[in-house]
Amino acid sequence: MDEVKTLIDKEIENLKDEIVNTTLHLIKIRSVEDTPAPDMPFGKGINDALLTCENLCKNLGFETKNYNGYALEAVYGNQDEDVCVIGHLDVVPEGEGWSVPPYEGVVKDGKIFGRGAVDDKGPTVAALYGMYVIKKLAQEGKISLKRRLRFVFGTNEEGGSKCLQYYFERAKYPTVGFTPDADFPVIQGEKGFLVFELSKDVEDTFEIEGGQRPNMVPDRCRFEGSFDVQKAKEIIAKKGYNSKAEVFEEGEKAFLITKGVSAHGSLPFKGENAISYMFDILDELWTKEDGFRRFIDFYNAHIGFDVFGKKLSIGFEDEKSGKLVLNTGMIRKEKGRLVLTINVRYPVDISYDEIEKKVKEVVQNYNIEYRMNTDVPPLYFEADHFLIRTLLEVYREFTNGDTQPLVIGGGTYARWAKNVVAFGPNMPGDEEVAHQKDEYILIDRLILCSKIYANAIYRLAKE
């Protein structure tokens, strides 16, 4: 085994520049979900990234199949069983406040900066080259494989994973595999993923808009209406929000802008919610007794800055996965109706029905309507499962650590594919930069991940 590991690691080192350059090339493609077009279900940017990977995989000697722009499959071998790695090419919008251009692939201080660097373009490239090395060594007769190799590139992980739902309606589920889109040492469980809307008819006397995605902590919220600008300034100063809010007039219109700190929706406590800042200010600023006033009262009483759902009566937790986590991701006013979009990650031993019941009990008192958008049940593997044990062993061989499997609030492709778990790239103690400004991945980490992934693929494929 040590001899094979040495072979694999040497091959990865020889490919270091290629791995880095491929990552940079993908980062330069702004693969944010956009207007659909024929064979481009999630827009041109994402499709450009998919076609780039299709050409790359062909050049690396894989057989490829493009599933109508939803997913790309790259395969080596013809065995019945397989090892499957699934990465995603779509990214969340860049947000504001970057110190470097988000789509130029800037390299400095041993890091690659750019949207998608760590979520999930860098790790996807690392895993692809890891699989390529195993293919190369098998073709050279230096190792033998009992399982086929399959790499799947998805295009809608950030938008609900409709890509994988489409793909697995047309392709077999993996025998075993992983997605390089979370944390090491290995993810044995993922909390339930829920997105719901709370809406209420309101008066046509204001406009409000904030956030870009349910699974991002919003870093900006804008309010336009008829209000006392001087009073707003006094409230902002009193609350100590001078760096978090600004107010100004343009003609006869008054504007209030609040600023937060973006973070991943599964880790809202790592960010600062601009929508929550907005409603905290509006609590004193909006004095009209109308439908919007009732919504303000609801928000501050039952959400506010609480990221664990306690104010909304859904503060569930369990021993396996810890506390429920809540992120207020977006707010919009659409045709006289206020719509608040909330993303919840709920414990593995809690059911959706329990959450729905509690939320409806609260919102009915405010004449607010509840609508579920997405519910993906929790995922959980026992610690002694073959896949968990194997991936944990590989990781420990590289780190000499004794870390244990994790349960996370983040949702990955593992939910949509059977016999798959999340595996890396973040290590214990890493700064959380996914979905944030100045997202980056360490170049040394990128190469280390490629080695870990290659060895994991081999270990799973030779069994």
- Known catalytic residues are 90, 157
- Amino acid present at 116: G
Cβ proximity of 284 and 153 under 8 Å: no
Q: Look at phi and psi of residue 460 and say left if phi exceeds 0, alpha if psi is from -120 to 50, else beta.
A: alpha
Q: 167 with 68: CB under 8 angstroms?
A: no
CB 74 within 8 A of CB 171: no
Q: How far apart (Å, rounded) are the C-alpha atoms in residues 283 and 292? A: 11
234 CB-near residues (< 8 Å, 6+ apart): none
Q: Parallel, antiparallel, or unpaired for β 192-201 and 420-422?
A: unpaired
Q: Check: CB of residue 242 under 8 Å from CB of residue 118.
A: no
Instruction: Write out the two tokens for 382.
Output: 């026992």
Q: How many CB atoms lie within 10 A of CB 269?
A: 12
Q: Which residue in 241, 208, 202 sits closest to 330, CA to CA?
A: 208
